[in-house]
């Protein structure tokens, strides 16, 4: 077995611990549970298509909203997730220092939807918007809508002449 399930099990425990801690959450804890697993699956497939590491991509997708899971708030959640997710990954002892930095940076930068980042950041951002679209979660920022449209355009089969 690879490390995705181990990471997600540990994350489910963190999510469980948040029950009742924040009075009003911008997203429910059930959404956090569903979204992390669903994004991970999308990210895994996207990485396979790009010839990148699918396990690492799925792991980054799983934890990308770590900041919002802890604070309950959407605002600034990507940046706020950076240090806590690093600690979380450190304690798991599943990843090398280098992998932890790659994942944590993808967490930190995933809200920059109009910017182009590292391959793994791009996958996290694409998986995030595709998953929100799948569940009918409205895009609140133009950059999210644009990223979704770009993704669909890129993945459309070529028209036959
Ligand atoms: Fe997300």
pLDDT of residue 126: 98
The 8-class DSSP code of residue 158 comes to P
Residue 159 in any domain: the answer is: no
Residue 8 in any domain: the answer is: yes
Which stretches of 51-141 are DSSP H helices? 54-63, 66-71, 77-92, 97-109, 119-134
* Three-class SS state of 141: coil
Ligand 1: centre distance to CA 157 (Å):
27
pLDDT of residue 161: 61
Ligand 1: centre distance to CA 66 (Å):
9
The whole-model pTM stands at 0.95
Q: Are 72 and 24 in contact (CB under 8 A)?
A: yes
Ligand 1: centre distance to CA 35 (Å):
7
Residue 68 in any domain: the answer is: yes
pLDDT of residue 57: 98
List of the chain residues with pLDDT < 70: 160-161
CA distance 131 to 43: 10
> What's the Cα-to-Cα distance from 48 to each of 12, 51, 65, 118, rounded to whole Å?
25, 5, 22, 16
Ligand 1: centre distance to CA 78 (Å):
9
pLDDT of residue 42: 98
CA distance 73 to 135: 19
Ligand 1: centre distance to CA 132 (Å):
7
Residue 86 in any domain: the answer is: yes
Angle at which helix 54-63 crosses helix 29-50, to 10 degrees, equals 160
- What total of structural domains would you count in the chain? 1
Report the Cα 88 to chain-centroid distance in Å: 15
Specify the CATH number for the domain of residue 41. Answer: 1.10.3210.10
Residue 133 in any domain: the answer is: yes
Residue 90 in any domain: the answer is: yes
pLDDT of residue 132: 97
pLDDT of residue 127: 98
Write down the number of H helices and E strands in the chain.
Answer: 8, 0
CA distance 152 to 145: 11
Q: What is the CA radius of gyration of the chain?
A: 15
Residue 160 in any domain: the answer is: no
Domain residues for 113? 4-154
Residue 54 in any domain: the answer is: yes
Ligand 1: centre distance to CA 85 (Å):
14
> Tens digit of pLDDT for each residue in 53-81?
999 999 999 999 999 999 999 999 999 99
Ligand 1: centre distance to CA 99 (Å):
20
Ligand 1: centre distance to CA 122 (Å):
13
The 8-class DSSP code of residue 20 comes to T
């Amino acid at each position: 077995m690879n490390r995705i399930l181990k990471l997600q099990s540990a994350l489910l425990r963190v999510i469980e611990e948040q029950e009742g801690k924040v009075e009003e959450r911008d997203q429910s804890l059930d959404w956090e549970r569903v979204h992390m697993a669903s994004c991970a699956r999308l990210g895994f497939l996207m990485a396979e298509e790009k010839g990148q590491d699918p396990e690492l991509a799925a792991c980054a997708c799983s934890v990308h909203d770590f900041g919002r899971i802890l604070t309950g708030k959407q605002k600034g959640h990507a940046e706020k997730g950076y240090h806590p997710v690093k600690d979380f990954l450190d304690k798991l002892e599943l990843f090398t220092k280098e992998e932890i930095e790659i994942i944590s940076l993808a967490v930190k930068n995933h809200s920059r939807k109009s910017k182009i980042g590292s391959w793994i950041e791009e996958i996290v951002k694409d998986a995030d918007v595709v998953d929100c679209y799948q569940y009918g979660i409205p895009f609140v920022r133009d950059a999210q809508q644009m990223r979704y449209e770009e993704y669909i355009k890129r993945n459309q089969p070529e028209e036959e002449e």
